[in-house]
Amino acid sequence: MKYIWILGYVLSVLLANVTLDKFIPLPIYGQLSIGTLFFAFIFTLRDRIHHFGLKYVFIAIGLALLVTVTYSIYDNIEPRFVIASFLSIAAGELADTVVFQNLKKSNWLVRCFTSNSISVPLDSCLFTFLAFWGNPEFPLSFMLQIIYADIVIKYIIAAVVALPIYFIGKRTFLLHPSQKESQEVV
């Protein structure tokens, strides 16, 4: 099962990078990168992969890097986008992992939502500035719209996706490890 989650993570990173420079204007304010729709799954999928151990988190990140770089060479994706993506993913993932790991006594949903509350804005700001700063087609006002839309949509998708993803499998997954032993006799 862990390989399915890793595959989902790798595909989400790839699809986010392939579609990151295509935008949908939001009705009131904001420019939504289509890549955000895929990227919103990344942090939640990675939190799921944590269940299998940090080793698998690093495997997922490494595979995502390898697949995305390989595809970007094949499809001529601008190197600036790939570099911006992986620097922002690295910073966001590191922050997310530190927060997630420091909340070991909390249930999974608290850990997931708290770590996402730090990593999502960090990733969104870093990526947007690294990918688009200096490009005359992306003035600061446009980049702020991208950041706003990215953060809002990532939070919404993460919240909608987190519950069903993490209720798949054992019903005791969200319990604290000390509570699992008494609940697993079913």
- Give the angle subtended at the CA of 118 by the CAs of 1 and 115, to the nearest 5°: 35
- 3 part of a folded domain: yes
Q: What pTM was estimated for this model as a whole? A: 0.75
For 105, phi and psi rounded to 5 degrees? -85, -5
Q: Is 179 domain-assigned?
A: no
Range of the domain at 43: 1-169
Instruction: Say if 58 falls within a structural domain.
Output: yes
pLDDT in single tens digits along all 186 residues of the chain = 889 999 999 999 899 888 888 888 888 888 888 888 887 778 778 878 888 888 998 899 899 989 988 998 888 888 888 889 889 988 988 898 889 889 888 887 888 889 889 999 999 999 999 999 999 999 999 999 999 999 998 888 888 877 776 676 445 455 555 555 444 433
Whether 24 is in a domain gets the answer yes
Query: What is the distance between the alpha carbons of residues 45 and 49, in angstroms, rounded to a whole number?
Result: 6
Q: Specify the pLDDT at position 93.
A: 81
Q: What is the pLDDT of residue 42?
A: 80
Residue 148 is predicted with a pLDDT of 92
Q: What angle do CA 51, 162, 174 make, to 5 degrees?
A: 50
Q: How far apart are CA 12 and CA 40, in angstroms?
A: 8
Whether residue 52 lies inside any domain: the answer is yes
pLDDT of residue 9: 93
Q: What is the pLDDT, as a whole number, of residue 186? A: 33
In the chain, the number of structural domains is 1
Q: For residue 178, is it within any domain? A: no
The predicted structure's pLDDT at residue 182 = 46
The answer to whether the beta carbons of residues 181 and 67 sit under 8 Å apart is no
State the Cα–Cα distance between residues 17 and 54, nearest whole angstrom.
24
Return the pLDDT at 183: 45
Q: Please check whether residue 23 lies inside any domain of the structure.
A: yes
Residue 32 to residue 26: CA distance in whole angstroms: 7
Q: Answer whether 81's CB lies under 8 Å from 138's CB.
A: no
Q: What distance in Å separates the CA atoms of residue 186 and residue 118, rounded to the nearest whole number?
A: 37
In a domain, 68, yes or no: yes
CATH of the domain at 60: 1.10.1760
